[in-house]
Structure 1
Amino acid sequence: MMKVWKATTASLACALAACSFGPSGKPPAMPQPEHYGALAQPAQTVEAQGASQRFDVGAKPVPEWWKLYRSDALNALVDEGLRNSPNLAAADKSLAAAREQLKAQVGSSLLPSIDAGGQASRQRGLGVPEFGPPTAVYNLFVGQIQAQYTFDLFGAARYENASLAAQVDQQSFQLDAARRAVAANIVTGAIGAAALHAQIDTTERLVALASDDARDAERRYALGSASRSEALNAEESAASLAASLPGLRAQWLATRHALAVLLGRTPDQAPDDLDFASLAVPDSVPVVVPSELLATRPDIQAADAAVKAAAAQVGAATAQLFPSLSLSASMGKGGFSWPTALSGAGALWSIGASLSQPIFHGGALLAQRRAALDTYDAAVEQYKQTVLAAFQNVANTLASLEQDTAALSSSDAASRASRGSSDDTAGRVRLGALPPRAARASEQQYRNAQLNTIRFASARLTDTASLFQAMGSPAGIVQAASR
């Protein structure tokens, strides 16, 4: 018995001395790589289509990065999407509801509750025949004010409130991540639709050239200057090119429909395509250093908030093992008639205190604490995975931007050379030095090179958007509930 008393006294002393009942909630230290990828990124990309992008290492993220594309139409689409997206509106309302629930829980757990009540009734009760009539009919009037307060001696309520506040913070960061994702999806969707439109135009020209070749081969076959095999091959080539158009158009329409939904519109109200050639690639992109990325990425901040929430739950589960003290009081008036109830004789009051100490709950409280510890450990590991995934995301995006720009540089050089050859061949055809089909063959070579250039140019534009998104948002955008 003495050992139990000493243990209880020690526990009480520790609690009153503000000993922590759970982990601190501080996220684990993470390795800080010298650079994101397996290879260090260069200072800038190679030049492609007359532009080279600079990597600003150590720069801060850009809040409205889509404006760097210098397209008023694109800016209008992003603004519309951020304003009208049903998903963002729903997430915003859910966050507002979570904040109100936090206020409600803090108020109910840390402040006393006061209630007023009244009762009026007419009753018939059994009497005792030896002392009066066999039954009694009477009125009862009671009015009371009741107050109750539970002392948070060991911090159970404070830990619960801290956990809920961290969960609200987590929702805030998730909303910020969702807003950035919507902006990035609108930018990439608009770029993709414009690029597909350009590919369709180029492919239609290729189909027209192939059809002209097929007709020319058929005429030459009829005149005996071409074989049947040559005519059939030309017809097959034209048909194969024509068969690629429906797939491109379907992809283009699906992209436009998805973009319309992102804007909060119905698919039939899809916006017009941007002028792909007018989109300017941003001159520079920020590359946040790895140590700063932990504070700028909303997904990492949300994982950090999850660690804090889990740590507070460990504290709350531990505090449930300790005593709970509550006070209650009431005062009012009561009587068998209104005059009696309102007179001094009808005064009612009570005051009381209750103290409870868990002794045996079938191991439930200890199991709940162990579960909270396991949940905390899981949150810590999930935080580590989120950070590593963020590093990987940045590394992959940097590598894609570098390599796609290099591919664009080569493809653009090939396209320019092919166009020069096509113009030269067309000039020789006009002079009669070459047959017309030579001009068509040369233009087909140029158009195929142009298709590759469009694809790689689109990839550079979308890779740039992905890198801006990967850098996260500037610190301080999200208002944390626990601060």
Structure 2
Amino acid sequence: MSLLLNTCPALPRALSLLTLSLALSACAIGPDYERPEINTPAQFKQAVGWKAATPSDAYSRGEWWQIYGDAELNQLVGRLNVSNQNLAASEAQYRQSQALVRGARASFYPTIGAGVGLTRAGQGGGDSALSTSDGISVSGGNAATISKTHSATLNAAWELDIWGKLRRQLESSKAGFEASAADLAALKLSLQAELVQTYLQMRVLDEQQRLLDQTVSAYARALKLTQNQYNAGIVPKSDVSQALTQLKSTEAQAIDLKWQRAQLEHAIAVLVGVTPSELSIASRENAVPQLPMVPTVMPSQLLERRPDVAASERRVMSANADIGVAEAAWFPDLTISGSGGYRSSSYADWFTMPNRFWSIGPQLAVTLFDAGARSAEVDRSEAVYDQTVAQYRQTVLDSFREVEDYLVQLRVMEQESVVQQQALDAARHALRSLENQYKAGTVDYNSVVTVQATALNNERNNLTLLGSRLTASVQLIAALGGGWQVEQLQAEQKAEE
């Protein structure tokens, strides 16, 4: 059903409808957004006794990886932020959301178009006579007429947002834009955490490589000593065989680390956006950082610090606004349109006052019957909202679980490291004692080999545990949101506006 007024007396009525629409536009159909209720604990269960540190300036700015104090790591993360291809794809999706917001905002303004045309038309038929608009005519009983029309028009249309449909569409687009921005931040945080973990594990492998290389050198000296003792008739041939076996076994372990390190280096290359052949990270001494003191937050702050939680909530906001868009379809749309221009059958007097035309007026349109399509769309929108609420709550639950997991992991591994260090100290002491006894000839070489293997295993276990603690610290920082804050979404939205 529509009402179209295109005459001059209709102008007062159009103005009346415009005034009414502006009065009605103060409200918008559909529910206003409220954050879904979340049961937030007062504190993390595993934070009891946790040694929290005050964030450094770099950490508070979001450059959380600087807490490990490695300049080469900082440089690699900087390259990832610029060149990672997964990040580039997500950034392109973010720009798509920006464009959708601009498109939704543009719907509040009139659309204006213009056109120029030349039309030829014919009426009647027959071959006995012809009459044209150019003044050439031949009389006949079955005359045909061909006309030519020049036209130049200017059109304008403006849909008034009486029921808030356009505002709800803009609200949904803005929430989608913020969700996309949070998705980009979440992906960046995930990739940064992956790079930092990979880099730290590579440095732990470098330390293990140096340990094995030093052990190989020590075993080589022990083999030479044993061979000398065998040549002097002090020890049996079996001692030489055991010393050689110990040496070659350790050499094999040292060789095995090389492919593991190469794979980690290749992974870092892909993360920073280059082929493995383009990146080489040299091994260096004392490259494994000390375990940092990780700043922690209260559970209530976690909702504002995790970009994935923020993205999930923004999707709830978007779905809530879509309900209003669906409900607004039950109400009529009011559009004010106008057109004007010149129309003439000849080019010479085309733009003259007698050939001018214009029309203006409102159009009120409403759907009277759609077989339940609008009702189905409202139900679908409400179901989508319920789905996003459930997904948001699940994301929050997962975020709490992750923080609790890494807190308890770090605390337990700290206790484990104390015991592991005690075992390592004992193994080193036993090895020194047995080596002295073997040189004195009071024990056989089999005892020395056993203690050497125990000491080496404890050395490697100590480094492996350090690597696990470093990895857990990275995971905890990522679970706490890194240095990200939800205020960044508002800043990006203001910049867009």
Which of the five TM-score ranges fits, normalised by the shorter chain? 0.7 to 0.9
1:299-340 per-position Cα deviation (integer Å, ceiling 9, x unaligned): 111111011000000000000111111121111011011222
1:136 Cα shift? Answer: 3.0
RMSD of equivalent CA atoms? 3.6
2:340 is aligned, of 331, 335, 358, to 331
Query: Which AA in structure 2 matches 1:117?
Result: G
Matched, 1:33 2:41: yes
Give the Cα separation in 2 of the matches to 1:409 and 1:374. 53
Query: Which AA in structure 2 matches 1:30?
Result: I
Question: Which structure has the larger Rg over C-alpha atoms?
Answer: 2
Against the structure 1 CA distance between its residues 362 and 337, is the aligned structure 2 distance closer, same or farther, given a 3 Å change threshold?
same
Contact 1:186/1:262, CA 8 A, preserved across alignment: yes
1:117 is aligned, of 109, 115, 118, to 115
> 1:260 maps to which residue?
269
> 1:7 maps to which residue?
none
Contact 1:331/1:350, CA 8 A, preserved across alignment: yes
1:481 is aligned, of 469, 493, 496, to 493
> 2:349 maps to which residue?
340
Against the structure 1 CA distance between its residues 282 and 21, is the aligned structure 2 distance closer, same or farther, given a 3 Å change threshold?
farther
Give the Cα separation in 1 of the matches to 2:37 and 2:285. 45
Against the structure 1 CA distance between its residues 432 and 235, is the aligned structure 2 distance closer, same or farther, given a 3 Å change threshold?
closer
For residues 71-470 of structure 1, what are the structure 2 equivalents within 5 Å?
A: 71-107=70-106, 109-126=107-124, 134-203=143-212, 248-273=257-282, 275=284, 277-281=286-290, 283-427=292-436, 440-470=449-479
- Structure 1 regions of 5+ residues with no counterpart? 1-11, 45-53
Give the Cα separation in 1 of the matches to 2:247 and 2:306. 50
1:35 Cα shift? Answer: 2.8
Give the Cα separation in 2 of the matches to 1:447 and 1:178. 40
Q: What TM-score, normalized by structure 1, do the two folds share?
A: 0.83
1:212 Cα shift? Answer: 9.0
1:242 Cα shift? Answer: 6.5
Give the Cα separation in 2 of the matches to 1:328 and 1:281. 71
Matched, 1:42 2:40: no
- Structure 2 regions of 5+ residues with no counterpart? 1-19, 132-138
Q: What TM-score, normalized by structure 2, do the two folds share?
A: 0.81
Q: Secondary structure at the match of 1:328?
A: strand
Contact 1:42/1:55, CA 8 A, preserved across alignment: no
1:21 Cα shift? Answer: 3.1
1:206 Cα shift? Answer: 6.0
Give the Cα separation in 2 of the matches to 1:20 and 1:351. 27
Give the Cα separation in 1 of the matches to 2:402 and 2:368. 51
1:420 Cα shift? Answer: 3.4
1:268 Cα shift? Answer: 1.8
Contact 1:209/1:440, CA 8 A, preserved across alignment: no
Query: Which AA in structure 2 matches 1:69?
Result: Y
Against the structure 1 CA distance between its residues 280 and 32, is the aligned structure 2 distance closer, same or farther, given a 3 Å change threshold?
same
Against the structure 1 CA distance between its residues 224 and 281, is the aligned structure 2 distance closer, same or farther, given a 3 Å change threshold?
closer
Which stretch of structure 1 is more off in the superposition, 179-188 or 84-93?
Answer: 84-93
Against the structure 1 CA distance between its residues 242 and 278, is the aligned structure 2 distance closer, same or farther, given a 3 Å change threshold?
closer
1:399 Cα shift? Answer: 0.9
Give the Cα separation in 2 of the matches to 1:275 and 1:400. 29
Which stretch of structure 1 is more off in the superposition, 278-287 or 386-395?
Answer: 278-287
1:18 Cα shift? Answer: 5.0
Which stretch of structure 1 is more off in the superposition, 74-83 or 237-246?
Answer: 237-246
Against the structure 1 CA distance between its residues 242 and 363, is the aligned structure 2 distance closer, same or farther, given a 3 Å change threshold?
farther
Contact 2:148/2:345, CA 8 A, preserved across alignment: yes
> 2:24 maps to which residue?
16
Count of residues in Structure 1 that have an aligned counterpart in Structure 2: 456
Query: Which AA in structure 1 matches 2:49?
Result: P
Give the Cα separation in 2 of the matches to 1:23 and 1:271. 56
For residues 45-56 of structure 1, what are the structure 2 equivalents within 5 Å?
A: 54=52
Query: Which AA in structure 2 matches 1:68?
Result: I
